[in-house]
Structure 1
Amino acid sequence: MDNPFEAIDGRLRNIEALVLEILQHQRAGPKSMLPEVGGIELAQEITQLSKSRVYALVSARKIPHAKRGNKLYFSLTELQSWISAGKRFSGDEIE
């Protein structure tokens, strides 16, 4: 007679493998799944700013973007660099 726990053990191994795969995807982060170039939605996701604020920054030419016709385009790496360039240093880091 077969061991009744073998089937349960096999299923638990499958569940464990799936959980590990899910954890790896979570550790990669949602930003890794973002496209390199996108529209206003990409800018909102990266900057965490409202659509109207992003449009105001575009209008003032204070955020990196490109425009073709009526469509705005944003580069993921340019937005990340723009955010990093705005970093403020603490008093200890300035000295």
Structure 2
Amino acid sequence: MENPFNELSERLERIENLLTDRHEMRVEPSEDEQDKLLNVKEAAAFLDESVATLYGRTCRNQIPFYKRGKKLYFKKAELLAWVEKGRNKTVDEIQESAR
């Protein structure tokens, strides 16, 4: 009879290897994933913000969104572009552009 701890250890090692492989194989999201419409809760989770903050941004037209009736929708790709638009330059980039 095989030792149950050895079997458990082997299974954990296989799981760890699968997770490591998946992490190392990071693939860019597909076009379908980028065009996916998110509801308010999903968009807030994606941006790591509260739903109230997200509603505030939409009221002030600070963020790209779609409205159909009383529902708000967000495209994942547009949210990512909005976040990237706020990127600050590094000191090296500032010095380079000053030259």
TM above 0.5: yes
- Describe the SS at the equivalent of 1:61: coil
1:1-95 equivalence runs, <5 A: 7-8=2-3, 11=7, 12-24=9-21, 27=23, 36-94=36-94, 95=97
CA contact (8 A) 1:46 1:80 kept: no
Q: Give the CA deviation at 1:13.
A: 2.8
Mind listing any 5+ residue stretches in structure 2 that lack a counterpart? none
1:37–1:76 Cα contact (<8 Å) kept: yes
Deviation track 1:24-81 (CA, whole Å, cap 9, x = no partner) reads 55x379xx7xx63211112212222222221111111110111111110111111011
Tell me the TM-score normalised to structure 2 length. Answer: 0.67
Contiguous gaps of at least 5 residues in structure 1: none
Report the count of equivalent residues.
Answer: 85
Closer/same/farther in 2, CA of residues 22 and 90 from structure 1, 3 Å limit: closer
Percent identical: 24
TM-score, L = length of structure 1 = 0.69
In angstroms, what is the RMSD of aligned CA positions? 2.7
